[in-house]
Amino acid sequence: MHSPRSADLLFAQLDAAGRAAKRPWAVDHESAAVTVKDGQVHPGDVAEAARRFARTAAERGVRSGDRCVVRLEKPLDVLVAFAGLTALGAVPVLLSARLDAPTAHAALEPVTGPLHLLIAEAREADFPDPLTPGATRLIWEDAVSAVAGGSAEPPPHGVELAPDQPYLVTHTSGTTGVPKLVVHTRNSFYQQSAIQTRMLRPMFLSGYLAAAISPVHVRTLSGILSALRLRHSLLLLASEESDSVGAQLERWRPEYLETHPNSYITWEGLAAEGAMSSVRMFLGTFDAMHPRTVDALLNGSRRRLAMFTEVYAQSELGPIAFRIRTRKTGRSRNTVGAELAGHRVGRAIPGYSRIRVVDEQGNRLPRGESGRIQVRSKGRFAGYLNFPERFTENLFEGGWWDSGDWGARTATGTLRLHDRQVERLSGATSGIALEDVLLDRVPELAEVVIMETDGRLVPVLVSRSTAPVTEELWLAATRDLPSLAPPRFVAWHEIPRTATGKVRREVLRHRLNG
């Protein structure tokens, strides 16, 4: 894979796709930057909006190499802002609208140097003042409606910078604390997109590619770049609510569908109702995909060769390993011991990533033994903007990055994920695998979270209905599993989550014990 020039990156590819587009994109939301008509927007209009915004930002003091915090909500707005800022050579620092204001401030507090701010009018109270003295503070609705002169016109393909220069800053999920701000270079961003392009190209998808995922995540933006390079039509969804999503799927009949794994769980009913009958390729990343949900989605497709691709990935690295499921391959029915041995996430991606499992001292472990999962990746990031010391702590000799996860490789090379290293259980090999088994055995459950408190495994359960699972059913489902404490039932909305739907286990533990 070659080193990228500006012509390979998102601003230029958005412009090229706009000129080559055969049909509009579909969206479920309005945008302050571009006109949406009957749920459709032309990618050429999105490209022109990005160019207009770049002119305004430049006239108001944003320069190449500057960092600009972006606090917007809607996917179209985020895309326009990202494309416009990178066209200038500026570095967007993308903060999810789902981060509460105190957490967002805590993530930015250690950052040194000037920070511009681009914020939606509805979010002004989150950051009422400029972030740093003398920096520009832009209100989104004003910035995209302003008429800028031509003197600040960005180059046709955007400002040309070296491949190792910063391109964007996104953030980790923050499941175990304050989110880390992840710096990606032009090269690491491009490499993450290029491997997705390589994996998508043989699918020959001709319908819409639908995505309802965090618009500020590097996975989202690198995926959009891949779609642009392949000239695919996009269905960008701001809502993950079942009713809204179902209506959009019925209207546009996408061939590809992606959302956060915990949103897929809430969409199982949509699959049963036929809303996903057109989907040929499902993709899940950000978190483990429970096998029960994968089965439901595949059974909801009427495409003969429907597949589900589960990607094990991290903000810092991009895709690490992948596993493909189809209805034909099905799901092997293993002994309970094999089912509890860990959540299978597949193999490393040839030509892009390598995986090893090591002990606490960094010594490589033989297959079958559990340890720290370390990865070498072409898309590895350049460091943390707010916690630079964490980068050197986790980078080992030879470019091996410690993922923070715990797992093992099987005799055939498949990676089994156990848990985050800081969330390892003493009473079971893998909490994730135990959650997989319980969701499979108890269809009445919408969510299972296994937590260890005072040496006991405590299952936190969310029922699909208001009625809890009966004791008889629970005892039958857990009879051959590791010893579990009596279950705690909570409502779905009581589970604290990150911007990408991951469970914030420490926050949940504090609430339950409080």
Domain 6-190 sits in CATH at: 3.40.50.980
DSSP secondary structure string for all residues of 155-217: PTT-----TTSEEEEEE---TTSSPPEEEEEHHHHHHHHHHHHHHHGGG---S-EEEES-TTS
Written as one letter, the residue type at 320 is I
In the chain, DSSP finds a helix count (H) and a strand count (E) of 16, 24
- pLDDT on residue 375: 97
CA 274 to chain centre: 26
pTM of the model: 0.93
188: phi then psi, degrees, rounded to nearest 5:
-65, -35
Query: Could you state, in order of their start, the residue ranges of all structural domains in the chain?
Result: 6-190, 239-332, 348-405, 431-513
375: phi then psi, degrees, rounded to nearest 5:
-140, 140
| Sheet hosting strand 383-384, strand order edge to edge | 137-139, 116-119, 67-71, 91-94, 166-171, 181-185, 383-384
Which two three-digit tokens encode residue 209? Answer: 């590619």
Decide if domain 348-405 falls under CATH 2.30.38.10. Answer: yes
Q: Name 220's Cβ contacts closer than 8 Å, sequence gap at least 6.
A: 75, 211, 213, 214
Residue 181 CA to residue 514 CA, distance in Å, equals: 30
- pLDDT on residue 357: 97
Written as one letter, the residue type at 501 is G
Instruction: Give the CA angle between residues 199, 203, 206 to the nearest 5°.
Output: 125
Decide if domain 431-513 falls under CATH 3.30.300.30. Answer: yes
Which two three-digit tokens encode residue 505? Answer: 């286990």
DSSP-derived letter for residue 42 is -
pLDDT along the chain (514 residues), means of 10: 86 93 94 96 96 95 96 97 98 94 93 95 92 93 83 88 97 80 97 95 94 95 96 96 96 97 92 96 91 94 95 94 86 71 92 95 92 96 95 93 94 92 90 92 91 90 82 92 92 85 84 78
- pLDDT on residue 332: 55
Residue 343 CA to residue 359 CA, distance in Å, equals: 20
Q: Is 338 left (phi over 0), alpha (psi -120 to 50) or beta?
A: alpha
On the question of a common fold for 6-190 and 431-513, the answer reads: no
- pLDDT on residue 1: 53
Query: What architecture is domain 239-332?
Result: 3-Layer(aba) Sandwich (3.40)
